[in-house]
Amino acid sequence: MTSNAACLEVRDLCVAYDRKPVLQAVSLDVQPGRLVGLIGPNGAGKSTLLMAALELVRRQRGEVKFFGQSYAKASGRVAYIPQRESVDWEFPIRAVDVVAMGLYRKIGWFRRVRGEHRARAMGALEQVGLADEVNTQIGELSGGQQQRVFLARALVQEADLFLLDEPFAGVDAETEEAVLRMLHELRDRGATAIVVHHDLTTVEANFDDVILLNRQVIAAGPTTEVFLREMLERTYGGRLLVLDAERPSRPAPSLAR
């Protein structure tokens, strides 16, 4: 699944809501086969960056390419998992049918989901530990189970690039471990994942690269080079609380409440 082209190239991306700038001149490259943490304070534009790249919100200006192509041409190689809060969980649909939606680009939007497609969806649910919930209505699942259903939908797409918007928000420890395990397995197969993430204490253990964002890119690159105290202070300002005073250059930080 690897490629010489960057998985994601962003150049001079600007986005505003009601004329209020949210992203300003964002430029970055993400290389294949990496787990990337997208990190910054609330309101930094992290979710907006993913949605603007996927053309879900309007760009004021800027260019975005996936694997050297526009999103329209490369969309089959990209899987997106939105925030749970953006999903209508009351919609009457079973877990297996949600996962099968990940195959629609290959099946065709107006063609029937056949047995082979349903089998693939059930296999993806088994991968994320939900083999017993295939026929459960999506709204009856716990928050962690719902997140795993959306991970299964992304997995069944067999994408090369996964964009996950706060996949660990409001989930149980079992789900967090399952998602992290799957992300590492995908990376080991050559796929790339960009993850909007808030728990700074787990960044070093789980991400190869980091993008520090606060409306602009503060820094981006390997975690060992970017996830530094001075960079985090530039990103979070006075809201950064260093928990490990013995590691002044590379702290284990969290946000002060």
Cβ-contact 199, 43 below 8 angstroms: no
CATH number at residue 194: 3.40.50.300
Residue 216: pLDDT above 90?
Answer: yes
Reduced to 3 states (helix: H, G, I; strand: E, B; else coil), residue 65 is strand
Asked whether residue 2 is assigned to any structural domain, the reply reads no
Cβ-contact 138, 146 below 8 angstroms: yes
Least-confidence region, from 36-40, 113-117, 191-195, 202-206: 113-117
Which two tokens mark 38? 């997208």
Position with higher pLDDT, 59 vs 240: 59
By the 10 Å C-beta count (0-12 exposed, 13-18 middle, 19+ buried), 114 is classed as exposed
What predicted TM-score, i.e. pTM, was given to this entire model? 0.85
Asked whether residue 1 is assigned to any structural domain, the reply reads no
Burial 167-181 (b: 16+ CB within 10 A, else e): bbeebeeebbebbbe
Asked whether residue 61 is assigned to any structural domain, the reply reads yes
Least-confidence region, from 43-47, 148-152, 226-230: 148-152
Asked whether residue 3 is assigned to any structural domain, the reply reads no
Asked whether residue 149 is assigned to any structural domain, the reply reads yes
pLDDT confidence tier of residue 245, bands split at 50, 70 and 90: very low
Count structural domains, the chain: 1
Asked whether residue 143 is assigned to any structural domain, the reply reads yes
**Rounded Cα–Cα distance for residues 128 and 178 (Å):** 7
Structure confidence at residue 21 (pLDDT): 93
Asked whether residue 178 is assigned to any structural domain, the reply reads yes
pLDDT confidence tier of residue 122, bands split at 50, 70 and 90: confident
